[in-house]
Structure 1
Amino acid sequence: MQLNGMKPSEGSKHAKRRVGRGIGSGIGKTAGRGHKGQKSRAGGYHKVGFEGGQMPMQRRLPKRGFKSHLLKFNAEVTLTSLEQLGLAEVDLLALKTAGLVGQIAKNVKVINTGELTIAVKLNGIGATASAKTIIEAAGGSVA
């Protein structure tokens, strides 16, 4: 096979519809746009959400709530999940490989949910005050 012998597969290419090219084409004169009105004119159409002058839906409804885009970079890990992980030293990379936090997470915090019986050393991971006391009571540390 050579470049000059290549052709598109059968039926993948077809001629563009040429509107407004005479009565015999079936789409002549008004070219399928009907008669008069904003939609029939060149460049005449409304913007997205326009409701003919009526107050549009996105302006009628109240604006409520906010979700920061920074939340996706922060993650939480429970004491129970640290217990199940079973590692002596835990850092961000270990949590990512175990699948406990997402790959785009940058900040991780351990929260006080569940129990911890093994000694765990945290490197570069934060912990709430109550989680920190439980980790230290089990013989671990938060660095």
Structure 2
Amino acid sequence: MSILQDLQPADGSTKNRKRVGRGQGSGMGKTSTRGQKGQKSRSGYKIKRHFEGGQMPLQKRAPKIGFHSRVAKPYSINVDKVVKVANLEEITMETIKSVYKLSKEVTKVKLIGSTTNELASKIKDENVTYTGK
């Protein structure tokens, strides 16, 4: 049975911290392990993240790809598959939302399908468009 006062950490599991600037005999005196002159040896030195010593940084060297349009694309509804929308008397955003589940972010709807030309007269909202063929 061990006694609490006799407990010790395992051999090699702990190290003493490095105490710099405590005289020449310590091996870490004078320059305090900072080497000789230069920017890195001064107090207050801090290198910026991603700085590569004046070389063109990676984020500028890498090719720029992709494009994200700021114009909101309309949500497409196929009226051949969603017959509830095609059977509406008057087609507006509110009536579409009453029969078809749309998220709050959707502001524009485009009706697609082979029967959209027949629905053109029912559309009463400027945010609802159709593909004309």
TM-score of the aligned structures, taking structure 2 as reference length: 0.48
Choose 1 or 2 for highest CA Rg.
2
Which structure has greater strand proportion?
Answer: 1
Instruction: Provide TM-score, normalisation by structure 1.
Output: 0.46
* Larger relative helix fraction: 1
